[in-house]
Structure 1
Amino acid sequence: MKQVQNVIQQLTEIRTALMNGEIYQSVPEKVLAVMDGVQYKTRRTHIAIPDDADAALARIAAIDQQIKTDGKAAQISDEALDDLLRHMASPDARVRDKGVFYLFNRLLRQTVLTKEQLLWVKDRLLSDDYLFAHIFEPENDGVFLRSFSAMFLAGVLYANRTFYHVLTEAELVAIEMRVMAYTVIELDSRGYVENKGWAHAMTHIINVWSELNETTELQRADKLLMLVVVMQAYRFSDNALAYGEDSHLTNVIINLMKKNRLYIDYFLIVLQEWQQAMLTIAPEENVAFWNRWYNRNRFLQSLLVQPELPEKIADYLRKISDLF
């Protein structure tokens, strides 16, 4: 997709400038400009959704049982793995949430995938047809495939860090850039979808970002940029992030700030920029405005109750606490 590549190119330019010391405090503003430049469509197109729920559940159960039986000798064929990933697109929570998700985690925990299969899965999840499926269209069921692609990428990163150790620095940077592009573009941040289960794109974005923070190959500038991208996506979500996203985001930021004082200082810059923007806006009579308002309140309140919150951040939040 040309527009995805344009977003990646813009983020790459910001990353390069940040690494070269050419920009620092202006990164939130520049990321927001990238977000504002995305052009969305007004019409939906047909979404190819698997319609074999019962058969898929039977196949998943059979694979799961075989893995339990075979133990360390367990294997999965490329065809079965492909079928599993395709069913991430299912709007049936039994298949997606309780079937594919749990089986994929078992495959990773037991290192059933070969190294070649892990790399193949990584490439499939990052592809336009998965991570960016129908992303420029109005709210649609494509969110399940997109969101779970991000979630599974977090699993791949964890498995690589813990067991496989096959991803190169260049591959990790490529994952970073495409996940950041997804975060910038994704507008559908619904949590639980009636009759269809969890979409949870924001939660899954935070999951994969958390894993990228744990990589030693990525530089501090990478992690600063990812912090800004995730924070801007959270800040400008039109949906109510009321399904634990606030505490999840808080925990990941706390863990990041433990790694180096630089992250504390930069997170303060992000908070200050957000606060300055809040002082200049007037209330609007629409759902999106009030969702954003209370998303912020929940997040800042979640930060304040964290026992490991750096004092520098806590002091600032106490100073502005009458405004949230």
Structure 2
Amino acid sequence: MNEVKQLKSLLLQIKSNNWSVPVDVNLDQLTTAMMKHLGSTDSELRDELIYSLFHQLIREKALSDNQLKDILKLSLSDQHLFYNIGAKGDDTVFNRAFAILIVSSIVMYHNQNGENLLTEEELFHVHKNALCYAKLENDVRGCVKNKGWAHSTAHLADALNELAICKVMKKIQLTDILEAVKEKVCIKDYTYINEEDERLITAVTSIMERNILSDEEITTWIQQFDNIEQIKNSQQQHCLLVNRKNFLRSLYFRFKQNEVCRPFIATIETVLNKISFAY
């Protein structure tokens, strides 16, 4: 408890000083302590202090390439991204959900700074782990009462978007990201209420803007939202229906604003009409 109080006190001091870390603070020790408490149920500590400082340090290039790679490796490990993976409704989701957000920030740094931080092999490793996490994460709650944001799907979407922007990601990797988006939308045990669809769509538009997938491949992907097996449980079927409809509606209006995406509006409209009148 003393350790947590000391960390929070230091981070509050750093925040009040415009995120400037005192010169006598060892960054390695500080980031190690921050990672240790990344999954805290204290939303102020986890979200407003630990993650926010990580984001600032990464954006301001305050960490060396080796430090960033060490943090990335730890974030992708069983201690964080895959910690108690598959659990649902407990507090371990905070650790996983904020680990993928740190992964997103580091890949963003790579994209925005000459793309020389991570090798092709390292990026493919991140891609593989992000997709594995997408399949295995069962806790998709948005804001948790008294504990703040978990928002694992939205945070995953941010990471998928940054990966989609990476030049080393070719057709097969981009197709895998689209499949992960579809699977994350088409869940039956939870109805998204915190604009997860908007974050997922950002990854989709980034893929579209790469101009690597053919029109036929994009059209087929959209049509797959109609080709979903029916569920006997009426409540689960309703969740699945609402998630698909909300996603497709958001996709329609986002595509309408993007010249590259406009040719697919009619396909979205057709699929949306089919699933809307099928029940």
TM-score if structure 1 supplies the norm length? 0.76
1:281 deviation in Å?
1.8
Q: 1:282 to 1:86 in 2, by over 3 A?
A: closer
Aligned mates of 1:78, 1:253 — CA distance in 2 = 36
Q: Which amino acid aligns with 1:223?
A: L
- The answer to whether the Cα contact below 8 Å between 2:186 and 2:240 also exists between their aligned partners in 1 is yes
- The answer to whether the Cα contact below 8 Å between 1:147 and 1:199 also exists between their aligned partners in 2 is yes
1:114 deviation in Å?
1.2
Aligned mates of 2:244, 2:210 — CA distance in 1 = 25
In structure 1, the residue matched to 2:43 is 93
Aligned mates of 2:62, 2:18 — CA distance in 1 = 11
Q: 1:294 to 1:263 in 2, by over 3 A?
A: farther
1:153 deviation in Å?
0.3
| Structure with the largest fraction of helix | 1
5+ unaligned residues in a row in structure 2: which ranges? Answer: none
1:147 matched to 2:104? The reply is no
Comparing 291-300 with 57-66, greater Cα deviation is found at 57-66
Aligned mates of 1:229, 1:173 — CA distance in 2 = 15
Question: 1:145-201 CA distances to partner (integer Å, 9 max, x unpaired)?
Answer: 001000110001111222372210000001110111000111111000000000000
1:299 matched to 2:247? The reply is yes
Of 152, 160, 166, which residue of structure 2 is paired with 1:201?
A: 152
Aligned mates of 1:92, 1:263 — CA distance in 2 = 46
Aligned mates of 1:274, 1:183 — CA distance in 2 = 18
Of 138, 150, 161, which residue of structure 2 is paired with 1:187?
A: 138
Identity of aligned residues (%): 23
Higher relative contact order (CA 8 A, sep 6+): 1
Of 234, 247, 267, which residue of structure 2 is paired with 1:285?
A: 234
- The answer to whether the Cα contact below 8 Å between 1:189 and 1:239 also exists between their aligned partners in 2 is yes
Q: Which amino acid aligns with 1:257?
A: M
1:56 matched to 2:12? The reply is no
- The answer to whether the Cα contact below 8 Å between 2:185 and 2:247 also exists between their aligned partners in 1 is no
- The answer to whether the Cα contact below 8 Å between 2:225 and 2:244 also exists between their aligned partners in 1 is no
Comparing 298-307 with 111-120, greater Cα deviation is found at 298-307
TM superposition outliers: structure 1 runs of 4+ over 4 Å: 50-53, 73-76
User: What pairs with 1:261-272 in structure 2 (closer than 5 Å)?
Assistant: 262=213, 264-272=215-223
1:63 deviation in Å?
4.1
In structure 2, the residue matched to 1:241 is 192
1:237 deviation in Å?
5.2
Q: 1:321 to 1:215 in 2, by over 3 A?
A: closer
- The answer to whether the Cα contact below 8 Å between 1:188 and 1:239 also exists between their aligned partners in 2 is no
Q: Which amino acid aligns with 2:30?
A: A
1:88 deviation in Å?
1.1
